[in-house]
Amino acid sequence: MHKWYHIIKSIVTKLLIIFLFLYLFEDALFSGKWKLTYISEGVDELEVKEFNILKSFKSPRTIDNLPNQIDLYEPSMLKSFGNMTIKSIKMRWNTGGVNYSYLISGTNKQGDVESVLIDPAEANEIIEELNNEELQSIQVIANTHHHYDHAGGNLAMIKYLIGLDSTRQLKLIVGSETKDSAISKYSKNVKLEVAKDGDSIAIADSSIDVKFIRTPCHTQDSVCYHVSNKDTKDTAIFTGDTLFTGGCGRFFEGTGQEMDAAINKKLTNFVPRDSLKHVKVFPGHEYTNSNIKFIRKRIYDKPGMNDALDKLERYMEINECSTGIFSLKDEMDYNPFMRIDDPIVRTAVGDKDASWTRAQVMDKLRIMKNSM
């Protein structure tokens, strides 16, 4: 007994010393050389991601080097737009999928909270992040498209919510009819609606409006949701895998022409031009760092070439999440997929004399990004 006590004590002490050593000398030891590399499991980008093994143990969060100070997220990932709140919920972070689900909430005249839940891919991770009031408040579940890492948790979420209250009524909004017969078992509680372009729903006594914008390309059933609130001119757009901060989704079921129409017409024409700076982008994944890497390598390769990109890059140097921070106007300033006619973008794809169609430029940009 005594002997074992000493052996265990000695092992624990050694482990603590090793851990302390690694923690203190992390920067020197892991200065870009020792990185853990693995393939993302997400179906959307399938990119090789690099993570500094010990990075997560430290929190080097300072805002000294941000020239134009941008509001940093509260740790809870909550953002307010007047009386509307948006809670960003990380899902599949451990698998490299880096997905987001979102809870959009407002209060009705009786003082009750009502919410829309976007893309509940992993019910367990969502339930963990929401308190009882938030769970009770969910009236609508909306999917940006059918991929499992966005819509795969619908059934589990519905089952859980009906388990809390068997009389509750839910609406499930999807881009295309679900083939999941298991959901039709709950037809007493769940009303299924296929999002029609331009239609909308309202919650919280019509104080919050959710508009459907169909953007076929990544999948043919891709839908973006524009959410506005009467109290404020700031609005939010939930773009799934159609638009990312600094990038766009793969063209799994569409063409460059369709992506051009989706992000450069549908997503920029539904509000007046001067309102685009008020539309904050909430994408389906946190791919910003990888998108910046691509733009720096292949398009705007030096700081000073694109001020908006410089600002985004500085933001990501000290923040892990960019969702809800940048607007559609910001995207038009740094996202090459939204700058198809910029001579620098044209030159980068090999079209120096600007003779290609927009669709050709879009297709080439996507090929370049895929090959990174």
Which residues of this protein are in contact with Zn ion, per CB under 5 A? Answer: 44, 147, 241
Q: How far is the CB of 250 from Zn ion (least distance, A)?
A: 8
Q: How far is the CB of 333 from Zn ion (least distance, A)?
A: 25
Q: How far is the CB of 249 from Zn ion (least distance, A)?
A: 6
Tokens (6 digits) for 171: 């609406």
Label residue 31 exposed, middle or buried (CB < 10 Å: 0-12, 13-18, 19+).
exposed
Instruction: Of 176, 236, 173, give the one whose Cα is nearest residue 199.
Output: 173
Q: How far is the CB of 103 from Zn ion (least distance, A)?
A: 20
Cβ proximity to Zn ion: between 147 and 366 the closer is 147
Which residue's structure tokens are 């940009």?
365
Cβ proximity to Zn ion: between 249 and 324 the closer is 249
In sequence order, what DSSP letters do the residues of 241-268 get, joined into one string?
TTEETTEE---SSS-HHHHHHIIIIIHH
Cα–Cα–Cα angle for 45, 51, 56, nearest 5°?
125
Cβ proximity to Zn ion: between 125 and 234 the closer is 125
Q: How far is the CB of 105 from Zn ion (least distance, A)?
A: 25
Cβ proximity to Zn ion: between 47 and 134 the closer is 47
Q: Report the distance separating Cα 197 and Cα 361, nearest Å.
A: 27
Write the single-letter amino acid at 260: D
> What radius of gyration, in Å, describes the C-alpha atoms of the chain?
22
Cβ proximity to Zn ion: between 345 and 362 the closer is 362
